[in-house]
Structure 1
Amino acid sequence: MSSTRVLILGTLLDGPLNGYQVRRQLEMMGADIWANVAYGSIYHGLSKMADEGLLDVVESGKGGKTVYALSDDGRFEFYRLLMPFWYEIKPIVDPFQVALTFMDRLGKPDLLAAVRGRKEQLQMAIAMTERALGSKQRHGAPRHIDENLKLNIGMLKAQLEWCEDAVQKVEDDELP
């Protein structure tokens, strides 16, 4: 199931939009960060879902912008795809886990430098994300959008905690 597909369909629940407006709505929600939405895929997705009958073209040609509206089939498809997201636990694919897999291939100084460097990056990411809390509402996003940021902060903090523990273990020759 494509998250981008659900995001596009869900964005159109509030009414017809063109591709640029869909993109702006997703940016306002921060989907570029937490959902890894490739914005070029929005336009392709809109066209494909219109071909599938999930979207209706309500306006075409004005300035080259096509306006799409959710069809009844599209509304059904949105809920059909959305509900499993609430119940399915799927692994989070993170390249950092690849690095962890091969931590034994690094010498102690390099490993310590890498983990300490990651700690600094995590601390900056946490601070930046915490500063973003509440800012989306000033641009019209619903307040529950902050819950994505709070979840992201929690995951970053968990990784930071692991890094702090790992530094001590590497220094004490308990890792790798």
Structure 2
Amino acid sequence: MSATRLLVLGVVRGYGRAHGYLIGNDLMSWGAGEWANVKWGSLYHALKQLTKDGCLTDHSVPPGRTDYEITPKGEAEYRKLLRDALRRPEARPDLLAAGLALLPSLSRAEAVGLLTERLAALRARRDAAREQAGQWGEPPHVKELYGLSEHIAASGVEWTRGLVDRLEAGAYPMAGEPGSPGTPGSWAILKLE
């Protein structure tokens, strides 16, 4: 799964119709170059590939600009990628970061459900690593790898549990709620001075 693919679909969906520079400018202003390794070239490649795959449609706009819109296939792909990013703990943090950036696209109940799945998977990882560390023999220093895995999973459990608690307490406007940026086409283009 590609964080860039998810982010591009999410931004196009958010605006309803957007051109490459707007998409890239938004993602770069969010810091996606750092937390998702998004580059300008990868954005334009993703736009072309998503169009080729039928997830986006492109429209030529004079003078030489291309605008993109999400298709029903793109909406389905977006939802699949977003759900997977939130429910599946991966070694790379860029997918989770992309999912968090687009979290308000989901209803509160769905977001909590997906994060609860993530929580169960992290607990299972933590417990498995703890068991492996306890059974490890030779060479003894390799036991530290299991200790690291346990620590990473345990901190993931703590953070995810906190986010679930915050969402259940009403934090952040989610899809279908007043003030949510989760509705397709609801994003306002900011006028930069």
User: So what's the TM-score if we normalise by structure 1?
Assistant: 0.50
Query: Which structure is higher in RCO with an 8 Å CA cutoff and minimum separation 6?
Result: 2
